[in-house]
Structure 1
Amino acid sequence: MSRVQHETYGETYGDTLGTSYEPYEPYDALEPYAPFEPFESFESYESYGDMHGDMYGEAYGLSHGAYEDTYRPAYETAAQPVVSRPEDRAVTTSPGSRARPRRAARRRRAVERPVPLRRLVPQALVVAFLAGGTSAFVAKDKAIELSVDGKPRTLHTFADDVSELLADEGVAVGAHDVVAPTPGTALASGDEVAVRYGRPVRLTLDGQRRQVWTTAHTVDGALEQLGVRAEGAYVSTSRSRRIGREGLALDVRTERTVTIMADGRPRTIRTNAATVRESVEQAGITLEGQDTTSVPQDGFPRDGQTITVLRITGEREVREESIPFDVFRTEDPSLFQGTEVVERAGRPGVRRDTYSVRVVNGVRQKPRRTRSEVVREARTQVVKVGTKPVPTSVRGADHLNWAGLAACESGGRPGAVDPSGTYGGLYQFDSRTWQSLGGEGRPQDASADEQTMRAKKLYVRRGAGPWPHCGARLHG
């Protein structure tokens, strides 16, 4: 029991017990220095009791005057005789001692100023209040293990749920972050709360690009979390590489089954190749010359796909083709109607085409033109068309049978030409005779009416002599 406790106990239960108990004197050995005595005067202690006593009275509906205060300070009561004790006299007469007179004085004051019981009640209430508050304080405190992105720590908190805990600790979470248990879950002492931050991954999986989020810390963990079959797969970076909060770009090609048809037999392989060309090489097949595959060689091989190798041989063929000429007609008033004269003969052009002929796996394919050039341009033909009216009669020859003569000479065909090419037209004119009669060009190119008119003029000049075999038909 401390000195203050001892003094309080003595004041409460009377002088007899207080004077009969001799306290331990720990400071005698330190003389001549006296120990510090914080409660030498009871003024502050009594004020404390009065204040809390008033509070106690107000709390229970009591106030000053509700009961009779029997307490009287020592200075208000009649002086009581003080009987000195032998030990007190011995202390006062003992030279060189400072502690014993003070203890005797305290005992006397305890006798002179007894403390009533009512002053101890507020003190007890304060102690009870503090004890209850401490119990509630301890009950609200929780020991929680908080792990943020794989870094655990144990802390004490008054938070009621996970959301409040994260807010108190300044842990911000986003839409791609994972919190377990979920925000809003009530907390109890001993609970564990884990926060795992999301990381963006720009994933190219078997040629398909997309962005995904993962809370894994390594590439291997991300592949497992995303459900990517990693066995036999190609991964563009080390699987043990850590993924920072900024994320990373990842190219993954899973293992696939591909069948290569080449030279009449299939080859099935397991591959994680990035292109068809690479998978064909992995199958031990070499492409030479114009060889190719049934699908683009830079395409991505799919699982279960069949790729056919096309063995190609080819040759080049050159062909020349004629280019037809155009005909340009112009009117000529000096020519009789129905007469056309070729002023400039047309000439066809020549075009040279180059073709590629391929044989694929032994089968000849349709030639494909790869080049075309004009060797000679076509020349346009110019034709004069007569617009002059044709005379219908020639005096002295209109009464003759010209239709019979024409039928005999040419079969009635205005464009007829004999096998030698010398005579032409209805009446088989040669070029000299025709031109002497005023004709233009070739007789077979003139109209039937013009040819008949020129034949009548010839008859007027020379009679039926120009037609020795058929001239008799003129009069028949």
Structure 2
Amino acid sequence: MSSSQYETFQAYGPYTAPPGVPGGAWPGLHDAETVGYGVPAYGDTYRPAYETRAHADAPGHTLVDEPVLPRQNGSAAAEDVYGEDAFGEDAYAVGAEEYGGGARAGLRSRTARRRRARYTERPESAVRRLLPQALVVAFLAGGTTAFVAEDKAIELSVDGRQRTLHTFADDVSELLTEQGVRTGAHDLIAPAPGAALASGDTVAVRYGRPVRLTLDGRRHEVWTTAPTVEGALDELGVRAEGAYLSTSRSRRIGRAGLTLDVRTERAVTVMADGRTRTVRTNAATVREAVEEAGITLHGQDTTSVAPDSFPRDGQTVTVLRVRGLREVREQQIPFAVERTADPSLFKGTEVVVRPGQPGLRRTTYYLRTVNGVRQKPRPEKTEVVREPRKQVVKVGTKPRPPSVHGADHLNWHGLAVCESGGRAHAVDPSGTYGGLYQFDGRTWHSLGGRGRPQDATEEEQTYRAKKLYISRGASPWPHCGARLRG
């Protein structure tokens, strides 16, 4: 049967019986008499149903009521219009079972009513019936298209582990969040986290790893995304050719990082014993570099820079041959003088009660020569062998008499010059006489003097000499007494 809305009737030829029906032509369905084309038994069957109502008043047209639209689940409305079965299976079955004429006539009548209902259906009704189905189909088709368009095939590599996945994420950041990949400030993400994604893109994530690097004696805290030591050195720009590494270059760097000591190859010039040598070394200390140059340090030998310091590229190191000895030197420690007032002595008179004694200090000096040149002595140890003893002196506070009657007019200065050369502290070679007027100790004490005459002031010595003259005249000075008158 044609699916067109505007079906027409046509004559059918003999129909072959289906399997199970007695052979030959099946004279039940299509052997009824065909109505001629010019006889309008049902009106104009070639005219659309919607025109029949519009031209109902025209001659030869018959008004046909619009049939009720069937429900999509095969309800009673569909049975009312199309018979017991909306697709005609029941009619076919009945015609097959009731092969007789009565059944045949009923089948033809039911088929004719079904066709008339289809031919007289209006186009608006058909559109209303098909529109919901078309909308559902369009919605499903559009949703499927959008679903396929939003799905993306992405290659995700995390620290070298690569896998293919499908995602609806719009950008790299959303993809990493969706996959549970947590990143930090030192991690490398390519493309950038905000970059848009398209199907076929590749996203790479390389985690940062902390490296506690000691490079040529200087410590650094650095981060790298390289998985191995060799990759980290390349990434940091460290020249590893000829360098010393504290670990293997192929060692993998875990997420926790590692500690790495690197000493690059350097040129160091060593000067020793009048010769110059240049070596390329990755030594950790100047001492090691000097030994690599074939130079041995003996005893107190040292270098111009600290032997345990790190040798720098292009550095010149001078070896110092040191020879040294120690010398002990003694020095006197001056004594202090303590002065006390004595009212029994005339003013200006000082008497030493206890003479002072200097102390003794012993110092050990280190004397060395560097490459044959004597250096300034360096004191190493100092000790006091003897403590100094202070000197005690009494100072007179008694007022001196203004003069000695009968002796003030004499030439005492001339006498002093003759006896001692005018020196108040003069002592003769025997140590018996002292002072300006060369008193002996017994005579000095008899005149009221204290201590030694040479320790008294000039004024006191002159005063005591005047008193001696009054009692004995010029006889105490047999050689110089005549000066008193001259």
TM-score by length of 1: 0.78
Once residues 249 and 361 of structure 2 are traced to their aligned partners in structure 1, the CA distance between those partners, rounded to angstroms, is 65
Are 2:351 and 1:355 aligned?
Answer: no
Task: Choose which of 317, 324, 330 in structure 2 pairs with 1:314.
Answer: 324
Counterpart residue number, 1:377: 387
Change (3 A) 1:8 1:266: farther
Q: Which residue is equivalent to 1:225?
A: 235
Q: Deviations over 1:160-216 (max 9, x none)?
A: 222222232222222111111112222221111111111111111112112111111
How far residue 413 of structure 1 moved from its aligned partner, in angstroms, is 2.6
Is the CA contact (8 Å cut-off) linking 2:243 and 2:264 kept in structure 1? yes
Find the residue that maps to 1:203 and give its secondary structure. strand
Report the alpha carbon displacement of residue 252 of structure 1 after superposing the two structures with TM: 1.3
Q: What RMSD, in angstroms, separates the aligned Cα atoms of the two structures?
A: 3.7
| SS of corresponding position for 2:388 | coil
1:49 corresponding residue in structure 2: none
| Distance (whole Å) between structure 2 residues aligned to residue 156 and residue 270 of structure 1 | 57
* Pairwise CA distance, 1:386: 1.0
Answer yes or no: is the 8 Å Cα contact 2:233–2:239 preserved in 1: yes
Alignment-derived partner of residue 70 in structure 1:
66
Separation of aligned partners in 2, 1:248 and 1:205: 14
Letter aligned with residue 293 of structure 1 = T
Residues 420, 437 of structure 2: 8 Å contact kept: yes
Task: Give the count of matched residue pairs.
Answer: 417
| Structure 2: distance between partners of 1:245 and 1:18 | 85
- Asked if residue 269 in structure 1 is aligned to residue 265 in structure 2, the reply is no
Seen in structure 2, the aligned counterparts of structure 1 residues 466 and 297 have a Cα distance that, compared at 3 Å, is: same
What is the deviation of 1:10? 11
Distance 2:474 2:461 in 1: 16
Kept after mapping to 2: 8 A contact 1:74/1:112: no
Q: State the AA in 2 paired with 1:279.
A: A
Stretches of structure 1 that go unaligned for 5 or more consecutive residues are 1-6, 26-67, 94-104
Q: Say if 2:82 and 2:114, in contact at 8 Å, map to a contact too.
A: no
- Secondary structure, aligned partner of 2:477: coil
Does 1:337 find its partner at 2:347? yes
Q: In structure 2, what is the Cα distance between the partners aligned to 1:327 and 1:247? A: 76
Residue 361 of structure 1 deviates from its aligned partner by 0.7
Partner-residue secondary structure (3-state), 2:433: coil
Shift of 1:85: 10
Q: For residue 213 of structure 2, what is the amino acid of its counterpart?
A: L
Identity %: 70
| Contact residue 327 and residue 382 of structure 1 kept, 8 A | yes
Alpha-carbon offset, residue 19 of structure 1: 12
Greater alpha carbon shift after TM alignment, 354-363 vs 456-465: 456-465
The 5-angstrom pairing of residues 111-150 of structure 1 reads 112=114, 118=127, 119-120=129-130, 122-150=132-160
Contact 1:355 1:371 in 2 (8 A): yes
Residue 324, structure 1, aligned to residue 320, structure 2: no
SS in 1 for 2:186: coil
**Contact 1:260 1:306 survives alignment (8 Å):** yes
Structure 2, unpaired ranges of 5+: 20-63, 69-76, 100-106
Match of 1:152 among 132, 146, 162: 162
Q: Does 1:206 align with 2:178?
A: no
Give, in whole Å, the separation in 2 of the partners of 1:410 and 1:284.
78
Q: Of 398, 404, 409, which aligns to 2:414?
A: 404
3-state DSSP of counterpart to 2:250 = coil
Inter-partner Cα distance in structure 2 for 1:215 and 1:334: 100
Q: Secondary structure at the match of 2:439?
A: coil
Is 1:235 the counterpart of 2:231? The answer is: no
Distance 2:210 2:131 in 1: 67
Residues 83 and 114 in structure 2, CA contact (< 8 A), matched pair in contact too: no
Decide which of 447, 464, 479 is 1:437's aligned counterpart.
Answer: 447
Q: Secondary structure at the match of 1:154?
A: strand
Residues 420 and 259 of structure 1, relative CA distance in 2, 3 Å threshold? same
Mapped to 2, the partners of 1:231 and 1:20 lie a distance apart of 100
Q: 3-state SS of the aligned residue for 1:461?
A: helix
Q: In the alignment, which residue of structure 2 is the partner of 1:287?
A: 297
Code of the residue aligned with 2:188 in structure 1: it is V
TM-score by length of 2: 0.76
2:194 to 172, 184, 192: 184
Code of the residue aligned with 1:214 in structure 2: it is T
